[in-house]
Amino acid sequence: MSQTPIRAPQKATMPRTLAPGQRARIHTIDVTAGATRLVHESTEVLYEAPNWTLDGKWLIVNGDGVLFRLPADGSVDPEPIEIPGIPPLNNDHVLDPDGVHVFVSAEDGHIYRAPLAGGEAVRVTSEDGLLHFLHGVSPDGGTLAYVGVVTEPGGAWHAPNLFTIPADGGASVQLTDDEFGDDGAEFSPGGGWIYFNTERPLTGPPRAAGHAQLARMGPDGSGAEQLTHDERVNWFPHPSPDGARLAYVSFPPGTVGHPADRDVIVRVCGPRGEDVTDLVNVLGGQGTMNVPSWSPDSTRIAYVDYPVGT
């Protein structure tokens, strides 16, 4: 693990709350037609990071340190998923391919596996000196991809690196090891790639600090290649279940990290970064689309925005 640069935390350490006059709105959007649907709106809970269940009927989101489920058609309000005995959850949650469990990241810096219907959780990660932030699970459910962070005694963070770990626990494998921040690691549908965002200049000259672009590499960390090459700051590549497209969040030039309450663009592109298309401009960023957000038929994306005022 590289031990050089120190940076301020990029991820929240406590559950976020809405600002005065702010709302959290959960939407779905048809990626072909561009039609959006407001699924749920709240002035009380700051919901984040929608997953879509395998049957396409439910969305899973977090808010106030808790997971919630709600129908994808918005027919009823979100209901909490009871997972007793673990710390508050953050917005890094990924559904197990078995359709029965969910992997979650908690504010103690560990990853857990819990029943999607609610119930006791099992911790996956160990006390290895890292903070662990989940982002992906392999198609067979056997391996998790996560962001690992070394912290200083005073609380400052080293640049995040990427790791994998067996889904039932065990030794981690480090995939990246450098002074450039890496994040958002997610497996392709066939398992042959891990998509991620990185500040590392894989092609061309060095970039400004924080200038993340989309990339992919083999599941062992080999063969890394940069996919986007623009002036914007691109985060959280999510491959569609059919492998045809990536969805991601694009921040304004000069953004460092993935902060909240920015004017961002939800975009899609091809699996090699080609054919970039803007889907929707929103006030968001952190929480908008941190996790796999595609419908199982690859036609829609779920996302959250956070408007203020009317």
Q: What one-character-per-residue DSSP string does 202-245 give? A: SSSSPPPTT--EEEEE-TTS-S-EE---SSSEEEEEEE-TTSS-
Name the phi and psi angles at 133, rounded to 5.
Answer: -125, 110
Token code pair at residue 33: 């037609």
For residue 14, what pLDDT is reported? Answer: 63
Cβ count near 284 (within 10 Å): 26
Dihedral angle of Cα 73, 77, 83, 89, to the nearest 10 degrees: 90
- Measure the CA–CA gap between 29 and 36, rounded to whole angstroms: 4
Q: Which amino acid is at 99?
A: G
CA 264 centroid distance within chain: 15
Per-residue pLDDT of the chain (310 residues; tens, 9 = 90+): 333 333 334 444 567 899 999 999 999 999 999 999 999 999 999 999 999 999 999 999 999 999 999 999 999 999 999 999 999 999 999 999 999 999 999 999 999 999 999 999 999 999 999 999 999 999 999 999 999 999 888 888 899 999 999 999 999 999 999 889 999 999 999 999 999 999 998 887 778 778 999 999 999 999 999 999 999 999 999 999 999 999 999 999 999 999 999 999 999 999 999 999 999 999 999 999 999 999 999 999 999 999 998 7
pLDDT at 7: 39
The number of beta carbons lying within 10 Å of the beta carbon of residue 157 is 18
A 10 A CB-CB count for 139 gives 14
Q: In the prediction, which pLDDT does 153 show?
A: 85
Beta carbons of 199 and 180 less than 8 angstroms apart: yes
Cα–Cα dist 108/185, whole Å: 20
Taking phi over 0 as left and psi of -120 to 50 as alpha, with beta for the rest, 243 belongs to: left
| Integer CA distances (angstroms), 159 to 97, 147, 177, 230, 238, in order | 30, 10, 9, 22, 22
| Residue that has been written with the tokens 């690196």 in this structure | 161
